[in-house]
Amino acid sequence: MGEGEESEMRAKVHVTVDTATLSRPSVERLLRQHQFLYDIAGTEPERKDEIDVGGAQSRYCLPLPDRATDAETFFVREVLDTVRLVQHPHLRAARFFYAHVLAGRAVFVTANDALFGAPRSVERNRLAALAKTRIMSFAEFERWCSEPR
């Protein structure tokens, strides 16, 4: 099998970076360093000093609708484990997590342990199972990128 054929057989990984807590360029550099085919999205608009001019793709930010659907409200209540959403400190992060799940993205990289639980915690595992996605800290993502595939 030639080199071109091998890269065509690798699946593209769809990564969302919680840019309220992590730098998107550092995640993107890991993906490029380990030669992943990837699609990367952030949760917050990029700051001008964060733009990595060597990046391979545009600065895509997951969209949040002005109003939550009933499905989103139900999901966010499950994630936040509360019925009271008004002025909840993690509401925006939970809504972006829903947008990540709705878009069928595979990996959510975050440093928000208050909402998503600490790495390898029961809470993080519960949320990952609920959403059918991976939730990783930057260190976990770094290890994951290094694993042989």
Mind listing the pLDDT tens digit for each residue in 128-143?
999 999 999 999 999 9
Mind listing the pLDDT tens digit for each residue in 63-117?
888 899 999 999 998 888 877 777 788 999 999 999 999 999 999 999 999 999 9
Which structure tokens are listed for 78?
């499950």
Which structure tokens are listed for 33?
């360093």
Gap between the Cα atoms of 100 and 113, Å rounded: 17
Answer whether 0.75 is exceeded by the pTM: yes
More confident residue, 6 or 73: 73
What does the pLDDT read at residue 86? 73
Residue 18's pLDDT band (boundaries 50, 70, 90)? very high
Say yes or no to pLDDT of 51 above 50.
no
Residue 33's pLDDT band (boundaries 50, 70, 90)? very high
Backbone phi, psi, residue 19, to 5° = -75, 0
The SS3 call for residue 17 is: strand
Query: Which residues have C-beta within 8 Å of that of residue 65, sequence separation ≥ 6?
Result: 72
- Counting beta carbons within 10 angstroms of the beta carbon of residue 98, is it exposed (0 to 12), middle (13 to 18) or buried (19 or more)? buried
In contact, 44 and 68? CB cutoff 8 Å: no
Residue-range domains of the chain with CATH: 11-63+104-146 (3.40.50)
Amino acid at 7: S
What does the pLDDT read at residue 7? 45
Say yes or no to pLDDT of 3 above 70.
no
Gap between the Cα atoms of 72 and 80, Å rounded: 12
pLDDT, the chain, mean: 85
Left (φ > 0), alpha (ψ -120 to 50) or beta: where does 35 sit? left
Which structure tokens are listed for 141?
């993502």
More confident residue, 35 or 51: 35
What does the pLDDT read at residue 9? 53
